Amino acid sequence: FEFVEGDIGAMPFSDDYADVITGGYALRNVPDLDVALAEIFRVLKPGGIASFLDFMKPVAPWRQRMDQALLHFWGGVVGLAMHGRPWIYQYIPESLAAYPDERTVREKLRAAGFDVTGGRRHFFGMLETIELRKPA
């Protein structure tokens, strides 16, 4: 069992190395999502599981606007309460503005070769834990 910190788009592992790969707020923050997904797929063993927690961008424009407003508000409240700096979490809605919507993310996951085996929503549907499997 080993925890490793590094570049998710260029992992220092052989093909079919890992049984499990997890990440929190990782996919939304990579410079190139397609490169990162290809690398995760390469490193994951056939039958292996990947699970990622991240904010998701809704498909509907009205929901995107609502989520952006809520994230700005709650990010300010939590940032002030926890750190005394209301602006500390403002990068979250800003990063979501550049991130693909949830439908496109799922299309990219499938295009990379993954089976999307599950997902669980959190925080009024703004966060999702998405579960993936590399076919055996």
We report the CATH number of the domain holding residue 117 as: 3.40.50.150
pTM summary value: 0.89
Q: How confident is the model at residue 5 (pLDDT cuts 50, 70, 90)?
A: confident
* 93 and 107 part of one domain: no
pLDDT at residue 107 above 80?
Answer: yes
* 18 and 50 part of one domain: yes
Q: Is 16 exposed, middle or buried (0-12, 13-18, 19+ CB in 10 A)?
A: middle
Residue 100: half-sphere exposure toward Cβ, Cα within 13 Å: 14
pLDDT for the residue numbered 70: 94
Per-residue burial over 44-67, b if 16 or more Cβ lie within 10 Å, else e, is beeebbbbbbbbbbbeeeeebeeb
Domain presence at residue 9: no
Separation of alpha carbons 46 and 116, rounded Å: 14
* 35 and 87 part of one domain: no
pLDDT at residue 129 above 80?
Answer: yes
* 44 and 68 part of one domain: no
Domain presence at residue 26: yes
> Which domain covers residue 88, as residue numbers?
58-98
The 10 Å Cβ neighbour count of residue 94 is 14
Measure CA 83 to chain center: 24
pLDDT for the residue numbered 2: 74
Average pLDDT of the chain to the nearest whole number: 95
pLDDT for the residue numbered 53: 97
pLDDT for the residue numbered 4: 76
Q: What is the CA radius of gyration of the chain?
A: 16
Instruction: Read off the pLDDT of residues 19-50 as tens digits, 9 standing for 90 and up.
Output: 999 999 999 999 999 999 999 999 999 999 99
pLDDT for the residue numbered 6: 84
pLDDT for the residue numbered 132: 98
Instruction: Read off the pLDDT of residues 60-95 as tens digits, 9 standing for 90 and up.
Output: 999 999 999 999 999 999 999 999 999 999 999 999
- For the chain, the 3-state helix, strand and coil shares in percent, each to the nearest 5, are 40, 25, 35
